[in-house]
Amino acid sequence: MNQQTYYLSPKQIVTPAGIMKNRHLLIENGLISEITDKPQENIPRHNIADSTLAPGFLDLHIHGREGCDVMDASRESLDVISRSLARHGIVGFLATTVTDTWPKTLAAFKNIGEAYSGSLSGAELLGAYNEGLFFTKDHKGAHDEQYFLPLDKSYIDAIITASNGALKVVALAPELPNSDEIIRYLSSKNIKSMLGHTAANYEQTCSALHAGACGGVHVFNGMSGIHHRDPGCAGAVLLDNNAYVEVIADGIHLHPAILDMIVRLKGQAKIGLISDCIVAGGMHDGQYKLGMLDVTVKQGIARTKSGSLAGSTLTLEKAVKNMFELTQADLMQVIEMVTLSPATFLGLDKELGSIAIGKRACLTAFDPHFNVTMTIVDGRIVYSA
């Protein structure tokens, strides 16, 4: 179905004004046109009476799925990832790189740049996220330190050029030389800096945030944690009111009590649930690659040979379910963490992130068990259970 006119008739609709029951949402020309209790009889209607209709989920940190990786540097791989994400309620994503050789890195960004201006068959490609290269070995996680590079403007410029306008986020370790200068440079290019895979202390992190860094990469994971005499990188991004934190809510990366602490400290507007999913997402347990490193997946948990967690096999509807069940956040708050919060972070909140008249019809429907029943991108049904 393309961008035609139709109603969606769910059990309830999550809107900025609250959860509306017994309403019908009209989609016209790819936009949200009306929310009404009296639908016109002559317009087709999709009855999804068991489902909650929410704004479309956004995954701003995802490496791959179903045997395909962003580092494959192929349009086909991005399309497989896009279709796979649509089955899990994702309407938009940032294709995220990992530390690899410099030529492979540039090839991956070039591929993202070429796909960015075209349409994929499922979730929309919202841009590129550079996770890798500019880290330190102390909290390297699933990044191969032999390919780390100095935080130099020439490398940044090469990535910007290769991605052809698609680069939205660069992750970096703030203790690296020139970090504050590079953060300011990225800000001048309208590119977000996120802090991660770092041994930076509280003061170094605060300096980077003051320079314009936006927050923490998968908070607590791959960074100095909170000690009572050194609040660390985690403490700095959690206590800074403006800092945005990525959260992997798979029940493995973070203890439920820590998830609840993050909610209490940050509030839903500064939390972005991410999958950090790798090539093994949607696949059986076994041996996989993440960049140049071998990864073993057992019971859905991905680890390197050294035992470090290597991304995840998480899907965002499961992250939503976990946050709803494991923390004090209510449904509207948790939904905001995968919709309006990431949309605002990317500066796309005028068109995405909430259900409102005139916004793009990018929507996710899910049943009472948080299973996705329908995903819609610009009025086009890209997945229906």
pLDDT at 207 (0 to 100): 98
Catalytic residue ranges: 276
pLDDT at 4 (0 to 100): 87
Q: Give residue-wise pLDDT tens across range 148-173.
A: 999 999 999 999 999 999 999 999 99
How far is 151 from 133, CA to CA, in rounded Å?
Answer: 8
Please, which pLDDT band fits residue 121 given cuts at 50, 70 and 90?
very high
Region class of 197: left (phi > 0), else alpha (psi between -120 and 50), else beta: left
The chain-wide mean pLDDT, for the chain, equals 96
Whether residue 3 has pLDDT greater than 70: no
Residue labelled with tokens 């992997």: 248
- Mean pLDDT, range 182-210, rounded to an integer: 98
pLDDT at 230 (0 to 100): 93
CB 372 within 8 A of CB 89: yes
DSSP annotation string for 198-233: B---HHHHHHHHHHT--EETTTTTTB---BTTB-HH
Please, which pLDDT band fits residue 232 given cuts at 50, 70 and 90?
very high
Whether residue 331 has pLDDT greater than 70: yes
Mean pLDDT lowest for which of 103-107, 287-291, 344-348, 375-379? 287-291
DSSP 8-state symbol, 265: H
- Mean pLDDT, range 317-342, rounded to an integer: 98
How far is 165 from 158, CA to CA, in rounded Å?
Answer: 12
Please, which pLDDT band fits residue 141 given cuts at 50, 70 and 90?
confident
Q: Give residue-wise pLDDT tens across range 66-113.
A: 999 999 999 999 999 999 999 999 999 999 999 999 999 999 999 999
Alpha-carbon distances of 363 from 82, 88, 297, 340, rounded to whole Å: 15, 12, 31, 12
Q: Give residue-wise pLDDT tens across range 28-38.
A: 999 999 999 99
pLDDT at 188 (0 to 100): 98
pTM for the model: 0.97
